[in-house]
Every structure is written in C-alpha cells, then in structure tokens.
Amino acid sequence: MAIDPRAKIEVEGLRLAYGHREAIRGVSFDVQANEILGIIGPAQSGKTSLLRCLNRTIDFVAGAHVTGTIRVDGEDVRRVRDVFDLRRRIGMVAPLPVGLPMSIYDNVAFAPRCAGITSRGELDGRVERCLRQAALWDEVKDRLGSLGTKLSGGQQQRLTIARALSHEPEILCLDEFSIAIDPVTTMRIEDVLRELKREVTIILVTNLTQQARRLADRTMFLMAGELVEIGPNAVVFSDAPAQRKTYEYISGLFG
C-alpha cells in the first residue's frame, strides 16, 4: 500500500519474529497526526507486538527480531540516538492498570521528576492538567497524597492515562484499556480520548469491534500477523468492506 510521507507514523514492511515464530508479516501502514487509529483482530494477530515495536519496548524481549522500517516524523525509530526520548514521545497504556506504589500525586509527577523538573509549581500544574485530561481531577483533588493503588479499577486506569500524559507524549498507544473496567468507566475514558485527539495521535488496540467503530477515524484489521484491511470506519464497518474476511470478523462469524 502507498504510505503518506506527511504521516505522523510510517510503517513499511514491518516483520517481527520471536525466534522461529513470525508474529508480524510485512505490515505497512501510516497514522496521520491527531487521528485515532483502531487496531482490531483475533488473539495472536500481532496487535500488542506492533505497539511494542513502535516505541521499541520490544527491545526488552529476548529473541525478538525486527526488520522493516518505522518512522515517526520521518525519523527511523531503529536509528534514534535517544531511545528514552522516543519512549517519552510515544506513551503506552497497558491492558491492566498498574499503579506505582506511591501517592496519586507522585504517580503523575514521577516521569516529570525523572526528566529533571523540580519546581513544585510546575509539577503541581502538570499533575492537575494531566488528571483533568484523564477526567480524574475532580474525584481525587482532595486526596492527592493517598496511595494510587487504593483507587478503584476504573480510577486506576485513568491514573495510568494521566501518568502516560505526564511526559507530554505526541503519540498515545492504548492496549485493551477497557479489559478490566466497567462499561460506564469505559465510556468516560472514550470521551477523554476524543478530547485528547486534539493534542495527540492515538493508536487504540481493542478486541471490541464496536469500540473501534465508535472511537476510531480509521481501523486496521490484523489476522495472524498480516494486515487484512485498513481504511475509514465508514468503509471497514460497512456491509461491503474491501475484504470479505473483515466483514466476517466484524460480524462475529469468527474471532
């Protein structure tokens, strides 16, 4: 497929193997700035592995071998000099909320402090801004000194989003963020993501096809490590997507 050279992210011929098992097989696509790209597909399709390739956390996996090209703003992520800066630019939210064993305030202030920010006023402002962006501020503003791990599951997931936003990423990747939270909280976070789209580019991996349909501008369907289809939601979720397999998966005929 043709890659838009103006895209925020450009992926060309991406392959990933864990030893002899190929998890991603020659995938090419782009992500436009300030769009939400949904990624759907059955288990073992390579969705999470793809996210890990973007910010090079795949580097931590023994035996993982990556080929192909991933560029962010035209820069090859495999050749960046500062991989820590790359991971600052590409925030990640895991499927299950993992709160640091520290206060709500310190959970959000942790990354800015690691980046050298020591001004209490600057930290206070960033903590409040990120908690507001994650729709959590009003619920916790009077107990910022409380342990983040004592929050409810949905609140912890929003705290995870606030923490991911605290280092001011340009790209936010979410991997099954709603897997362990209730539908009401899920809808609240979806509203948060719609607002965040104004400021960041979002990649959303989800097993919930209707969530991708609600949130994404475009959706990509992966199966067995191969890109089956990518396109605007109006096409992918229509009665006549480009690939029959897409229709069958979205219709629940397999998955």
pLDDT digits (tens, 9 = 90+) for 158-179: 999 999 999 999 999 999 988 8
pLDDT digits (tens, 9 = 90+) for 11-69: 999 999 999 999 999 999 999 999 999 999 999 999 999 999 999 999 999 999 999 99
9-250 — its CATH code?
3.40.50.300
When pLDDT is averaged across residues 125-152 and rounded to a whole number, the result is: 95
pTM beyond 0.85: the answer is: yes
pLDDT digits (tens, 9 = 90+) for 187-246: 988 998 999 999 999 999 999 999 999 999 999 999 999 999 999 999 999 999 999 999
> Where residue 2 falls among pLDDT bands split at 50, 70, 90?
low
Residue 255: pLDDT over 80: no
HEC profile of the chain: CCCCCCCCEEEEEEEEEECCEEEEEEEEEEECCCCEEEEECCCCCCHHHHHHHHCCHHHHCCCEEEEEEEEECCEEHHHCCCHHHHHHHEEEECCCCCCCCCEHHHHHHHHHHHCCCCCHHHHHHHHHHHHHHCCCHHHHCCCCCCEHHHCCHHHHHHHHHHHHHCCCCCEEEEECCCCCCCHHHHHHHHHHHHHHCCCCEEEEECCCHHHHHHHCCEEEEEECCEEEEEEEHHHHCCCCCCCHHHHHHHCCCCC
Residue 180: pLDDT over 80: no
When pLDDT is averaged across residues 68-95 and rounded to a whole number, the result is: 94
Domain boundaries, the chain: 9-250
Residue 78: pLDDT over 90: yes
